[in-house]
Amino acid sequence: MSEQYEEVVTSAKVRYVEVPGVAGEIALLTMDNGFDHTKPTTFGERGLANIDAALTEIEAHEPRVAAIAVTGKPFIFAVGADLKGIASIQDREQALATGREGHRVFKRLKDAAVPTFAFVNGAAMGGGLEIALHCDYRTISTGVPALALPECFLGLVPGWGGTQLLPNLIGPEKALQVIINNALSQNKMLKGPQALELGIADAGFEPADFLERSLDWAGQVLNGAVTVERPVIERGKAWQDVVAGARWFVDAKVKGSSPAPYKALDLVALAETASFEEGTAAEDEALADLIFSEELRAGLYAFDLVQRRAKRPAGAPDKALARKVTKVGVVGAGLMASQLALLFAQRLEVPVVMTDLDQGRLDGGVAYAHGEVDKLLQKGRVGKDKANRLKGLLTGSLTKDAFNDADFVIEAVFEEMGVKKTVLAELEQHVSAECVLATNTSSLSITEMASDLQHPERVVGFHFFNPVAVLPLLEIVRAEKTDDAALATAFATGKALKKSCILVKDAPAFVTNRLFMRFFGEVTKAIDEGTPFEVADKALDPLGLPMSPLQLLSFTGLPVSQHVAETLHEAFPDRFYVSPNLGRLVQNGVTSLFGADGTIDPDAQKLFETGSTVLTGEQVLQNALEAIADEADRIVREGVVAEPQDVDLALLLGGGWAFANGGITPYLDRTGISETVTGKRFLAQGLASLP
């Protein structure tokens, strides 16, 4: 701490600080669980009791303090309720008591006799953000990497004042962006400057001297040198219209599959007119309802997979075997290749060279990547120096000798075995003996692709999902001869790219695409046999998938989707359906079933030849679920992945499977479909015993 501030008294959690220009001390309460930043501070029963005791101590302090400030340990403010504690709650009364205790303790800051401040120095999520919202003023570090109310993502609602305080601070529209939109969009986090821009914080300071500057700013507020102005929040119809609009968003995102976001909307609507006591009582009731829901148990299971299993991939070799990657090559200059080149340059910050046979195509690919960097600069996500550095790392070459000193080369060319084998054979003539050769194939055999090479042991599958920058999954595929060094390098590179990696055995279409093509094959089959487009396409809505089957097939591109379906049909003709109608569309150059207005294109529909068998939406859904249960069981039994949990991770991170459903296997277990199809449950213990 700077010599400008004199520490007067120190206790276990509280210290009293004199600030120039302030008559009296500021009580600085630091939330710290005693561990380093890898174990964030959470609020369990004991944590709340410690804060309560610290506030009692501050109130009894003589002389009376001028203000109370709350901050966190290095890099962490607080990340909310202890999820393991939530999972251990036994009955509704205990759930109500948990909500009420958090409200009681936090409200002591809101009702304090002196001004209160939150100095948000690090990650703040859930209850961590809510305790800050109970304070009169907030500063935030520009280095804060994550600030969020993620409860709806898990199947809960912000239950310690968030639904009442945030909309009344920044307005319902911005509040719902945090509570609903961000939570339901892959649990999107705000960075410090974004939170400041939204008005969640009143001032922002650099990390290096954040505490000193926050104390100085608090002193200026206390002595009147700084006046904090807050926006006037529109109420009545304006508030109600915002909530109604958000309800449309929730319908589109979860399609009724999770009750949590709907309850959160009701609570934000209530916050317009209710007293704080009425609003928080309603939060308690909503929390108690949701804590015993299947959706929460499923959400906690999914969260645990993403936070634990995804960070320690099953079957990954010793990371000490990984080779250092100092230069990357990308074969191809199409959209996928350009996205990959940009990702490698951003995350690894090493030279990335793209190659193509055509100069115009190559120039276009490099220009695309440079243009995306310019967009990041315009949005303020990178500075000018970093933008120039990234563009300098991204170059193109018509010849593959540019890869002579590359450590990792990935091909992203046309999805045809002959083309890919030719590319890999050419690469082997240019790269070093230890260079890893990766393929982004979505369905082809890696083993066959490497079969004619002198060193097939260095070839590995590196299957990304589109859009590359958004979806976190990376399927790393081990072919028959892939060695541990190549595989370890692939996992280390995937981690550096900030992707969640799962190890996959070389099998047709691997995991995610194989499951979805079996799943969606029931939808396209139903349409071909006579079920109306709208009925079949909406049949899976109860699952809360981000896109309908036909939307996803069109987003991927009908030619690509059809190719994957044909590859799987060739491998497993009795299980994977290939739609002749979609094939006819591809032959006629149609790439999407949807027109510009988002509805089925009538011209595309005219090319369909359908039968007379009409199924209900419920029948289509049942058929699809039984098909995916069978395929998931086969994938596990064949050893394509280590366990059912890896199937769940694949769909959660690569297919947008709703967290509230917990992954496909627990959903199939609790609906009874697992036992109907396979005679057993995927997860023997169910969800009840999972954290």
Phi and psi angles of residue 68, each rounded to the nearest 5 degrees, phi first:
-120, 135
Measure the CA–CA gap between 114 and 69, rounded to whole angstroms: 10
Closest CA to 197 of 164, 227, 221, 170: 170
Is 411 annotated as catalytic? no
Tokens for 401, please give them.
Answer: 């000798």
Measure the CA–CA gap between 584 and 292, rounded to whole angstroms: 49
CB 298 within 8 A of CB 462: no
| Residues counted in the chain | 691
Neighbours of 379 (CB within 10 A): 8
Neighbours of 421 (CB within 10 A): 17
Closest CA to 183 of 255, 79, 253: 253
Measure the CA–CA gap between 185 and 253, rounded to whole angstroms: 9
Neighbours of 491 (CB within 10 A): 24
Is 675 annotated as catalytic? no
Measure the CA–CA gap between 614 and 601, rounded to whole angstroms: 21
Residue type, 143: G
DSSP letter for 484, please: H
Closest CA to 368 of 393, 400, 346, 336: 336
- Which sign does the torsion angle of CA 329, 332, 333, 338 carry? negative
Strands 116-120 and 25-31: unpaired
Catalytic residue among 18, 45, 59, 130: 130
Measure the CA–CA gap between 262 and 647, rounded to whole angstroms: 28
Tokens for 176, please give them.
Answer: 């719902």
Catalytic residue among 25, 151, 372, 522: 151
Measure the CA–CA gap between 170 and 346, rounded to whole angstroms: 33
Catalytic residues: 130, 151
